[in-house]
Chain A
């Protein structure tokens, strides 16, 4: 049970961090010289899921100091490590101020990220509600 919840929590951490970065991109859409930033937290998550020893994909490996830790009370900033941050240096050729933010793409990414976040919070809520229900009603 806790593996599943930890996985969802780690994913939500990643998504909320990504939401911050996208919002920052939008805020800097006209800043000269600004390059868009993003994190591919799903890639990191996938790597840690696939490497797990006990066969299920739900447990996150935490054998390396660069791994995302299964979130405990202190560790909400697992994704704030700058090693996860990715900056795009591509320069769209039609902007003179060297800013490579495309506002339409940022808005679309924001929408996708929010949907992703909402699905996972629903899944976590459903799990907690099931557990509560079993505790209250299962077995008289």
Chain B
């Protein structure tokens, strides 16, 4: 559902690393790029939301629901990405605690 709204920073990451995925050799650089891409998306949504609000403030649009939707999209994307990031860090810490 979120992907239909154009918000998918987190689900892509999980899809990418499901067990069916066979590209385990390049996981390191892939993860970095994938995460970077998703961060860019979040940043774009944020910029778009600021643009919409600026347009509204200048009186160039009176489309209130579009302004609010753009804002909410940016917020959700950011929250989702933050939550995913936290989970990943937690998982990493968990792994590091494993005694060999």
Contacts and interface: CB of A to CB of B under 8 A. Distances in A.
Direct contact of A and B (CB under 8 A): yes
A8 B58 CA distance: 10
Contacts of B64: 115, 119
Interface residues of A, number: 25
A42 B59 contact: yes
Main secondary structure of the interface of A (DSSP, over half): helix
Interface residues of B, number: 22
Contacts of B60: 46
A130 B56 CA distance: 20
Interface stretch (A29-37, A75-83, A120-128): A120-128
Contact of B86 (A115, A123, A126, A137): A137
B96 to A, nearest CB: 14
Contact of B71 (A49, A116, A123, A133): A123
A140 B67 contact: no
A11 B89 CA distance: 41
A98 interface: no
